[in-house]
Amino acid sequence: MKTYKSAIAEFLSPLTGLSPDTLEAAITLPQHEGHGDFSFPCFPLAKVRRQAPAAIAQELAAAFRPAHGLEKAEALAGYLNFFVNKVEFTRDTLKRIAAAGADWGNGASGNNRTVVIDFSSPNMGKELAFHHLRGTILGNSLSRIYTACGYRTIRINHLGDWGTSYGKLIVMYRREGLSEADLPGITIERLNGLYKRFAEMAVDQPSLEDEARKAFMDLEAGHPEYQKLWSGFREITLRELRRLYRLLDVQFDHYTGEAFFLDQLPSVIERLETAGLLTKSQGADIVDLEADGLPPALIRKSDGATLYITRDIAAALYRREQYAFDRCLYIVDNGQSLHFKQLVAVLGKMGCDWSAQCQHIPFGLVLIKSEAGDWEKGKTRAGAASLLKDVLEAARDKILAIIREKNPDTPDAEGLAMQIGIGGLIFSEIKNRRLGDIRFDWDQALSFEGDSGPYVQNAHVRLCSILRKTSSSPIPDPGGLTDGQYALLQHPSEFSLVQTLEQFPDRVLAAATSDDPCTLAQYALEVAEKTHAFVHACRVIGSSEETARIHLIQCARLTLANTLRLISVPVIEHM
């Protein structure tokens, strides 16, 4: 079905010499009410045509003829503003939504290209901290968004299951007199406690660090007991991780951590040596990246131990071979930017002409207020961070108290409270632009008013409540309404809601293009606000426009539900 943007692009293309795709990407919404429904900025044409933008806009406006629901075009300050026929626009938009059904918002821009998304990637042997939530949800949301845009999406959890930290864990485990036989009774909480005690003891006993390094070297060398302990620690952690991922509705296609690539490291080292890229520096093997404006990449320590980047090189080579990806995205916080610049640079020097397709998608940190009043990221291994499971349970309890006060007969109140609490926590992080740090605030995150998860969830609940009262399906009838029924939707709040619903596919594409789900979180707020305004201004049940308004509610509910799913916020029908 032709969209209004495509109709405008079709009109402008022969007049400007620009392709329809280029024109569609340039068409925006007017900044001010009354300036039309779509706007095309003429400024990029000024240099090519050697005309003032205002003159170009006037010339294009004079050439316009009404077509496809576009009634008129006006030139204003270098913009060409288009006005739609409201009845036709409403009919066309609601028909598009009803025809698409559950697929509303999906597109084909991905053209079945493959995108690998590496996200969450926690360290084994420890519990997830609250600050891990942001990267996990950003990756999960981007995976859903890319899939909606027509990409073949592969979700990978690159577990941190190798490194000196396991030497620390082994040292403390043995110091407490524990053996392989004790593993079945060990919990993730017990492992987390071992990390904390190691950090505390190492302050007064620095030799512990050397002991841990030695234990890890033995583990790398294949020490039988250490291998069994490592495997046990990994499984204990995975059980808890999978429980939390199920709670958050986070999915992965593969759990391939650093240890998975150990047998591939010799070939990586050999390839670097054959290419003449390795040089010695204080006994260690490095790749000189001075020509790239970067510090050297440390590939192998003087004691023979490998590093994160060595294993990431192996992972990138493996993923390219296995998945033939078009893009490989690493959803990791800002602090690792240098690491990924070095990774891409080394891959490029190795002759990987696809190295630029490996892209770091950085994000800011979630900061929590310490007892001293400072905003900081906690360190779970030192025991100074809020654990994610504790934060989820606290959010559930806070919402549960509200439910029991206002509606004590709510069925499965605890389950509902958890869904609302999770929605509040997720939305509080997704609504902010990806690159900025977040100062987490409990009251704002769980508020039922303003820009919060419970607010947008409540908008969906309100629409579901109206549909239940009329025994109407939550999905709009693909047959739609008669032309006369569409014409009944005349109230300004109805048209404003329709205008917002029409933007959904563009917003999904914008979120994928910017690699930032924030675009859709803000859109969810817009839909919620327009929904509340419409329901407040227009009587639905018992009105002469009931059938038409129910259809509009179905389309709004579908759009809001699809938006919430894309940003990983639970979609609930009762509150």
Residue 451 above 80 pLDDT? yes
Q: pLDDT tens across 61-81, in order?
A: 999 999 888 999 999 999 999
Domain boundaries, the chain: 4-84, 119-262+318-366, 389-566
Contacts 24+ apart (CB under 8 A), 316-323: 316/343, 316/347, 316/352, 316/358, 317/264, 317/268, 317/352, 318/261, 318/264, 319/116, 319/156, 320/352, 320/354, 323/114, 323/116, 323/154
pLDDT band at 385 (very low <50, low <70, confident <90, very high): low
CATH 1.10.730.10 fits 389-566, yes or no: yes
Strand duo 366-369 + 375-376: pairing: antiparallel
pLDDT for res 382 = 43
Alpha-carbon span 564 to 111, nearest angstrom: 24
What does 110-174 look like in DSSP terms, one character per residue? TTT-EEEEE---PBTTSPPBGGGHHHHHHHHHHHHHHHHTT-EEEEE---B--SHHHHHHHHHHH
- The phi, psi pair for 295, rounded to 5°, reads -70, 160
Residue 409 is predicted with a pLDDT of 87
- Can you tell me the mean pLDDT for 164-177? 93
Task: Write down the architecture of domain 4-84 according to CATH.
Answer: 2-Layer Sandwich (3.30)
The predicted pLDDT at position 366 comes to: 86
Q: Would you say 301 and 307 are in contact if contact means Cβ atoms under 8 Å apart? A: yes
The token duo for 218 is 């033995």
Q: pLDDT tens digit string along 16-34?
A: 989 998 999 899 998 888 8
Distances (CA, A) of 431 to 95, 295, 439, 526: 30, 35, 12, 12
Q: At what angle do helices 133-148 and 224-248 cross, to 10 degrees?
A: 60
pLDDT at residue 1, rounded to an integer: 63
Check whether 369 has a pLDDT greater than 80: no
Label residues 36-74 b or e (16+ Cβ within 10 Å = b): bbbbbebeebeeeeeeebbebbbebbeebeeebbbbebb
The answer to whether 77 touches 39, Cβ cutoff 8 Å, is no
Region 305-330: what's the mean pLDDT?
95
89 contact partners, CB below 8 Å, separation of at least 6: 4, 37, 69, 495, 498, 499, 502
Give the pLDDT confidence of 228-280 residue by residue, as tens digits.
999 999 999 999 999 999 999 999 999 999 999 999 999 999 999 999 999 99
Spatial neighbors of 566 by CB under 8 A, at least 6 apart, are: 105, 141, 144, 145, 148, 508, 511, 517, 520
Could you give the CA distance from residue 508 to residue 298 in angstroms, rounded to a whole number? Answer: 40
Overall average pLDDT of the 150-164 stretch: 95
Please name every residue paired with 79 in a beta bridge, in sequence order, or none if there are none.
41, 76
Q: Domain 119-262+318-366 is of which CATH architecture?
A: 3-Layer(aba) Sandwich (3.40)
The neighbour count for residue 258, using CB atoms within 10 Å, is 23
Determine the average pLDDT of the residues in 341-361: 97
Contact between 496 and 564 under an 8 Å Cβ cutoff? The reply is: no
Q: What is the mean pLDDT of residues 119-148?
A: 94
Across the range 213-231, mean pLDDT stands at 93
Predicted local confidence at residue 378, as pLDDT: 55
Q: What is the DSSP string of 39-70?
A: EEE-HHHHHHHTS-HHHHHHHHHHH---BTTE
pLDDT tens per residue across span 491-538: 999 999 999 999 999 999 999 999 999 999 999 999 999 999 999 999
Strands, sheet with 327-331, edge to edge from the N-terminal-most edge strand: 152-156, 114-118, 327-331, 358-361
Q: Alpha-carbon distance 426 to 133, whole Å?
A: 8
pLDDT in tens, 78-97: 999 999 999 999 999 999 99
Q: What is the mean pLDDT of residues 405-412?
A: 89
Q: Report the pLDDT value the prediction gives residue 384, as an integer from 0 to 100.
A: 47
Q: CA–CA separation, 310 vs 272, rounded Å?
A: 10
What digits encode the pLDDT tens for the residues 464-501?
Answer: 999 999 999 999 999 889 999 999 999 999 999 999 99
Decide if pLDDT at 50 tops 90. Answer: no
pLDDT value, residue 380: 41
CA–CA gap between residue 536 and residue 530 (Å, rounded): 10
What is the Cα–Cα distance from 298 to 285, expressed in whole angstroms?
6
Backbone angles phi, psi at 497, to 5 degrees: -65, -45
Of the candidates 527, 542, 395, the residue with the CA atom closest to the CA atom of residue 463: 527
Cα–Cα distance for residue pair 404/130, rounded to 1 Å: 26
Integer Cα distance of 103 and 67 in angstroms: 28
